[in-house]
């Protein structure tokens, strides 16, 4: 049976359930929302312990990163990610997962060229372009803003 690309696309669309996108989005919404609620709870916990707001935010993030690391090491984060998709990718726990996973995976290649080189293989671009964007903002604030005043 010979089929063109367009025919194949139509067939694939008919074969896949129509609620696919809605179901994935619901999963992402629920799991992503729940991780944020956990983050808010941790923030309030640290704030009630007497930490200032910025430190409480940081400690909440660090705790989420640590929890994500443990769940990644046990393989649970990967299992959840299969269902939750962007719900586990977009929160900071997804960033931590993206750092821990390749570190574990490439340990066999050694501590320098394995763990050291591959640790930021996915998170690296996030840091590069995030810091780059903030640097452009800084250049704007320092050089352009004074001229606008």
Partner 1 sequence: MNYLWAFVIGGLICAAGQVLIDLTALTPAKILVLFVTGGVVLSAVGLWEKVAEFAGAGALVPIVGFGHTLAQGMARAVAKEGFIGIFTGGFSACSGGVGASLLFAFFIALLTKPKSQS
Closer residue to partner 1 in complex, CB, 11/30:
30
Q: Distance between CA 68 and CA 74 in Å, rounded?
A: 10
| Cα–Cα–Cα angle for 57, 63, 67, rounded to 5 degrees | 145
Closer residue to partner 1 in complex, CB, 7/109:
109
Q: State yes or no: residue 82 binds partner 1 (CB under 8 A).
A: no
The three-class DSSP label of residue 52 is: coil
Joined tokens for residue 121: 């293989």
Closer residue to partner 1 in complex, CB, 8/29:
29
- Tell which one of 4, 12, 17, 142 touches partner 1 (CB under 8 A): 142
Shortest Cβ 52–partner 1 spacing (Å): 14
Q: What is the helix (H) or strand (E) element at residue 90, kind and residue range? A: none
Q: State yes or no: residue 131 binds partner 1 (CB under 8 A).
A: yes
Q: Distance between CA 54 and CA 3 in Å, rounded?
A: 59
Who contacts 84 (Cβ-Cβ below 8 Å, separation ≥6)?
Answer: 27, 28, 30, 31, 32
- Tell which one of 134, 147, 148, 149 touches partner 1 (CB under 8 A): 134
Please give the radius of gyration of the chain, using alpha carbons only, rounded to the nearest integer: 21
Q: State yes or no: residue 61 binds partner 1 (CB under 8 A).
A: yes
Q: State yes or no: residue 52 binds partner 1 (CB under 8 A).
A: no
Closer residue to partner 1 in complex, CB, 3/64:
64
Shortest Cβ 50–partner 1 spacing (Å): 18
């Amino acid at each position: 049976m010979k089929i063109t690309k367009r025919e194949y696309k139509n067939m694939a669309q008919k074969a896949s359930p129509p609620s696919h996108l809605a179901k994935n989005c619901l999963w992402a919404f629920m799991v992503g929302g729940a991780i944020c609620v956990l983050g808010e709870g941790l923030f309030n916990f640290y704030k009630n312990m007497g930490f200032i707001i910025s430190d409480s935010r940081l400690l909440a993030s660090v705790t989420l990163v640590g929890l994500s690391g443990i769940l990644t090491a046990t393989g649970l984060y990967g299992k959840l990610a299969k269902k939750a998709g962007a719900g586990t990718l977009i929160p900071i726990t997804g960033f931590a997962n993206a750092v821990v996973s390749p570190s574990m995976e490439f340990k066999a290649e050694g501590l320098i060229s394995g763990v050291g080189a591959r640790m930021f293989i996915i998170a690296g671009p996030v840091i590069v372009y995030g810091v780059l964007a903030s640097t452009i903002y800084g250049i704007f604030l320092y050089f352009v803003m004074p001229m606008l005043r």
